[in-house]
Amino acid sequence: MEEILTIKNVIIYLITINFITFCAMGIDKKKAKKGKWRTKEKTLISLVALGGGIGRNYWNVYI
């Protein structure tokens, strides 16, 4: 049986969750600029708690 928690799988997970968080923050930021209904803060915080902190930092600091 192949091990699930390998370095490769952890890296793939982190890249994926950060991409998802990056996209969610981007969508939320675009909605905010247009005055539309925004993503729940609980959803965004949950994504960050799952490991998506890098995606969050990129949107909030650099864009």
pLDDT tens digits, one per residue of 5-54: 999 999 999 999 989 988 998 899 899 999 999 989 899 889 988 887 77
- Asked if residue 51 is part of any domain, the answer here is yes
- How far apart, in Å, do the first and last CA atoms of the chain sit? 44
Cβ atoms of 27 and 63 within 8 Å: the answer is no
- Asked if residue 43 is part of any domain, the answer here is yes
- Asked if residue 11 is part of any domain, the answer here is no
pTM above 0.85, yes or no: no
* The three-state (H, E, C) secondary structure of the chain, written as one string: CCCCCCHHHHHHHHHHHHHHHHHHHHHHHHHHHHCCCCCCHHHHHHHHHCCCHHHHHHHHHHC
In the chain, the number of structural domains is 1
